């Protein structure tokens, strides 16, 4: 049976605006993970501060 590893990245994004900086940071995370053999299997978001519209993005990874 193949060994499967799982990992999680938590991206703390301020506000609900999708800025170029945030896009660049996420692209760098995905490029680094993909080049290391990780596969993105799921994403999830959670609003952690409704007053300031602060949310987190969770990236779930798998590597065989």
Reported as a single tens digit per residue, the pLDDT across 6-27 is: 999 998 876 666 678 888 888 9
**Facing residues of 60 across strands?**
8, 42
> Residue 37: which domain range?
5-63
- Total domain count, the chain: 1
pLDDT digits (tens, 9 = 90+) for 19-60: 788 888 889 999 999 999 999 999 998 988 888 778 889 999
Q: Is the pTM of this model over 0.85?
A: no
Burial class (CB in 10 A: 0-12, 13-18, 19+), 4: exposed
Enter the tokens of residue 63. Answer: 């590597």
């Amino acid at each position: 049976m193949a060994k499967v590893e799982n990992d999680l990245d938590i991206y703390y994004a301020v506000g609900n605006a999708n800025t170029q900086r945030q896009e660049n940071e996420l692209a760098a995370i995905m490029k680094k993970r993909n080049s290391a053999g990780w596969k993105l299997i799921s994403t999830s978001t959670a609003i952690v501060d409704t007053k300031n519209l602060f949310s987190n993005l969770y990236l779930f990874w798998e590597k065989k």
